[in-house]
Structure 1
Amino acid sequence: MARSRVGRRTRQLLVFAHVAPSLGWMGAGAADVVLAMTAGYTATPEVRRVCYHMIERIDAYLVIPGAFGALVSGPARAATTPA
């Protein structure tokens, strides 16, 4: 049986570093869906404009960093997992 190259505490930290941005990414995606549906079903142009503006902000500050965080932390976690 192969031993891991990192300790238990480090593996736990890597799991957290992967799960946290992944959940944030999914939550931001859900918020995007709600905002897009609100914009699609409203008749008020101002509400529609604000919804799309919020989607842009959520994408810039949560979705894109969350995706890259998960992309980096996933392989780091996999590389430290014993075979």
Structure 2
Amino acid sequence: MLFELGNIVATPAAIEAMKINNVDVTTLLIRHVGGDYGDVCAEDRLENERSIENGWRILSSYPLNDAGDKVWVITEADRSSTCLLLPDEY
């Protein structure tokens, strides 16, 4: 575990999207906290590494299906909470 998740919350839309697509939230959280940030560009991956060292926000993006739908996992800078949400909810 590279960092603390804090309180874990999710938007209703993210919960529904994960349910419809049979995506396990625990699997996503394990990937996120383990440094597998999913479908983020190299620059964002590097920024996440800096964020771990400096106490900044951490963002992961995981595909839900082949249609391109995604869920984001964001851990706040102070590590008080981690939220799962859809990109259009940000």
Q: TM-score range by the shorter chain?
A: under 0.3
TM-score by length of structure 2 reads 0.23
Say which structure, 1 or 2, has more relative contact order (CA 8 Å, 6+ apart).
1
TM-score by length of structure 1 reads 0.24
Greater C-alpha Rg: 1
Give 1 or 2: higher helix fraction: 1
Give 1 or 2: higher strand fraction: 2
